[in-house]
Structure 1
Amino acid sequence: MRPPRFWAAGADHSVARALGPLGAVYGALTARRMDRPGLRAGCPVLCLGNFTLGGAGKTPAAIAVAALLVELGRCPAFLSRGYGGRLAGPIRVDPNHHGAADVGDEPLLLARHAPTIVSRDRPAGAAQCRALGADVIVMDDGLQNPTLTKDLAWAVVDGGAGIGNGRPFPAGPLRAPLGRQWPHVAGLILVGDGAPGASVAESAERRGLPVHRARLVPDKIELAGRRFLAFAGIGRPEKFFATLRETAAVIVAERPFADHHPYGETELAALVAEADRLGAELVTTEKDAVRLPAAFAARVSVLRVRLVPNDPQALYGQIRQALSDSKAARFP
């Protein structure tokens, strides 16, 4: 879905106010569910989730955390629900065999970096991760899912969006009232700049929680001066368009789609025709690229990004402490 305008930070819209009572019920139910105890996985579980619906940079953050774990000598595996995929799992993602319709788009990206299990039953998925030899599980999303105990959970927040208007769904983007979610996280990963995200960071710091500021850095591919029709179906397409501009690419048209949008043949053909008419190339995100048919993908450039923490040592430190605490808890 594409977030409605009244979800935006600072918005005070009559529709949001009218939906407020429904949001209060939804948020209370989600918060109550989050409070339930979960099962232990038998190894540390690190979770990267959202306070809100929609994307904030969880997948690049999960990949960055897994890379730090490898540097620490650990063997991480990713665990994902596989949003948008038809397979319930638990199943190991094979990019050579599975498509986005099978396992979702994000697991296909994760599987390029470490073994990845898709499972709607998180404890069953954790057991499968352990069977693969993982000694740490990195959950991409799942902050509001209580079935698995997390040893360390971060909320990933988009600096430009923050928590939107601060209301629970459907009145706003929050999955539960913010005050009820804070006790479930041990820190914040703030991706990019912006007043909305800075406000959330201040709230975290007042609670004594670490805030790990980070940025998305595009791969070093030569785009400067090239003309592009840019399209993206992610949580905030405008963030992709802004990152693309930083490469000095010339964007002649922007075409945003809903997050996880399943591209149809007709609209893809229309994008090709429009790009040809404008004398431009097509460019999209890595996440969108895995949802494209192979024949069409050959026409599209892909801008890959990676998450770079401003202070990697601070993130290292929190991970080391969580791993140490987890070991102490299991072996008193």
Structure 2
Amino acid sequence: MREPGFWHRPPSLLSRLLLPIAAIYGNIAAARMQKIGTTVGVPVLCVGNYHMGGAGKTPTTLALVALLREFGETPVVLSRGYGGRLQGPIQVDPTRHSAADIGDEPLMMARRVPVVVARDRSDGAALACALGASVILMDDGFQNPALTKDTALIVVDSHRGIGNGSVFPAGPLRAPLALQIARTDALVVVGDGTAADGLAQQITKKGGVVMRARLVPEPASVEALRGRRVLAFAGIGDPGRFVATLQASGVQVAEQRAYPDHHPFTAEELAELAATAKRDRLTLVTTEKDLARIGSAQPSLGVEIVPFAVTLAFGDESKLRLFLLDRLNGARAERLAGRR
């Protein structure tokens, strides 16, 4: 969906008119979040958002995968598979699954780490354990009560924050903020903006950990676009951030197109992008997530689409390492105590 503009402006008449519906939605979401979930045999780390739309969960998940592997762990990512048709539980196979099958983010991540897609998170966790997971990384699902989460890391964009701070549909929040903060162990603030500073103070006050991070373009992606004028297009939570990252990397963005998050590109839309690129002698560039959705349609366009890959770099990686080790050790100690 495309986020309404008023979600990211000070409270307006429209947002106030929607508050009664937001109160109902928030009460239902709060009651659901407080249900008791299933505890599985390995630690469960959840990477989530307070709000609808993206803020950098997937790069955060992949960064955690890399660190966990350094610890000698075997992480498996568990995803709902948003946008895919398969219910699961199923292990994603990039050689035979498409984004229409299992969603764009699981398909993108499955090239780097084992990924399980399941609408029922408990069934998905069982499959992840059967695949040899020593740690389950939940990509999203913070508000879902099916599994007990040993650690919840919330990702927020430093420039957008949590918008007007209201619950859907009056604002972007998926549940009342106070309840979500109470269940947060760590906040990952992506970027150098100040919109999340107040939120970071609340997390620190309740004893949580706040970590700063930034998206870093992969050198190969920057080099592939050096000296080219590009048409940048993206269907993600914040297409503007994608364009800003390109420009900050020295890429000349001549034109841009923004689509709703998880947008399923039609043949007509792709043909228009290709025609514009040919006519204006531009290079098409998009995100890895968008390219996963385009998939097999790319070769028929007759033009190159360059994926612009980014990774998440933490400002204080040693702080993150200590946090993860402490949470993993604590989760395992609780499980051992429960068996006595």
TM-score by length of 1: 0.97
Query: In the alignment, is residue 67 of structure 1 matched against residue 72 of structure 2?
Result: no
Q: Who is 1:311 aligned against?
A: 316
Residue 270 of structure 1 is matched in structure 2 by: 272
Query: Do structure 1's residue 326 and structure 2's residue 331 form an aligned pair?
Result: yes
From 221, 243, 246, give the equivalent of 1:244. 246
Distance 2:117 2:201 in 1: 34
Does the CA-based 8 Å contact 1:93-1:108 persist in structure 2? yes
Aligned residue-pair number: 331
Q: Which residue of 1 aligns with 2:12?
A: 13
Separation of aligned partners in 1, 2:180 and 2:30: 7
Secondary structure at the counterpart of residue 319 of structure 1 = helix
Cα offsets for 1:197-229 (capped at 9, x unmatched): 222212212222111110010010312331000
Query: Whole-Å Cα distance in 2 between the matches of residues 172 and 194 of structure 1?
Result: 20
Is the 1:47–1:139 contact (alpha carbons within 8 Å) kept by the matching residues of 2?
yes
Please give the per-residue CA displacement for 1:155-203, whole angstroms capped at 9, x wherever unaligned: 1111111100000000100001111111211010111122212222122
Cα displacement (A) at 1:276: 1.8
| SS in structure 2 at match of 1:292 | helix
Which residue of the partner structure matches residue 292 of structure 2?
290
User: What is the RMSD of the two structures over their aligned residues, measured on CA atoms?
Assistant: 1.1
Give how far 1:277 is off.
2.1
Partner residue, 2:97: 98
- Cα distance in 1, alignment partners of residues 334 and 181 from structure 2: 23
Which runs of 5 or more residues in structure 2 are unaligned? none
1:89 matched residue in structure 2 = 88
Q: Which amino acid aligns with 2:136?
A: I
Alpha-carbon contact 1:225-1:248 (below 8 Å) kept: no
Q: Give the partner amino acid of 1:320.
A: L
Separation in 1, partners of 2:13, 2:278: 42
User: Is the CA contact (8 Å cut-off) linking 1:252 and 1:278 kept in structure 2?
Assistant: no
Offset at 1:32? 1.3
Q: Is the 8 A contact 1:85 1:101 kept in 2?
A: yes
1:36 and 1:161 map into 2 onto residues whose CA distance is 30
Conservation of the 8 A alpha-carbon contact between 1:154 and 1:187: yes
Please give the alpha-carbon distance, in whole angstroms, between the structure 2 residues aligned to 1:212 and 1:293.
34
Please give the alpha-carbon distance, in whole angstroms, between the structure 1 residues aligned to 2:96 and 2:183. 36
Aligned runs of 1:32-71 on 2, under 5 Å? 32-71=31-70
- Hey, what's the Cα distance between the residues in 1 that align with 2:297 and 2:24? 46
Q: Is the 8 A contact 1:229 1:275 kept in 2?
A: yes
Query: Whole-Å Cα distance in 2 between the matches of residues 295 and 210 of structure 1?
Result: 43
Q: CA deviation at 1:293?
A: 3.8
Q: Contact 1:31/1:176 (CA < 8 Å) preserved in 2?
A: yes
AA of the residue aligned to 2:4:
P
Question: Do structure 1's residue 139 and structure 2's residue 146 form an aligned pair?
Answer: no
Distance in 2, matches of 1:102 and 1:320, equals 35
SS for the counterpart of 2:298 is helix
Contact 1:59 1:140 in 2 (8 A): yes
- Structure 1 counterpart SS, 2:128: helix
Q: Using the alignment, how far apart are the partners of 1:330 and 1:249 within structure 2?
A: 50
Q: SS in structure 1 opposite 2:294?
A: coil
Q: How far has the Cα of 1:295 moved from its partner?
A: 4.2
Tell whether the 8 Å contact from 2:92 to 2:115 is kept in structure 1 after alignment.
yes
Give, in angstroms, the shift of residue 60 of structure 1: 0.6
Deviation at 1:125, TM superposition (A): 0.4
1:239 partner SS: helix
Structure-2 separation of matches of 1:245 and 1:294? 28
Structure 1 unaligned runs (5+)? none
Which segment is superposed worse, 125-134 or 269-278? Answer: 269-278
Structure 2 length as normaliser, TM-score? 0.95
2:171 aligns to what SS in structure 1?
coil
Check conservation: 2:184, 2:203, Cα contact below 8 A.
no
CA distance in 1, matches of 2:149, 2:297: 41
Amino acid at match of 2:255: A
Q: How far apart are the structure 2 equivalents of 1:295 and 1:206?
A: 50
Which whole-Å CA distance do the structure 2 matches of 1:99 and 1:117 have between them? 14
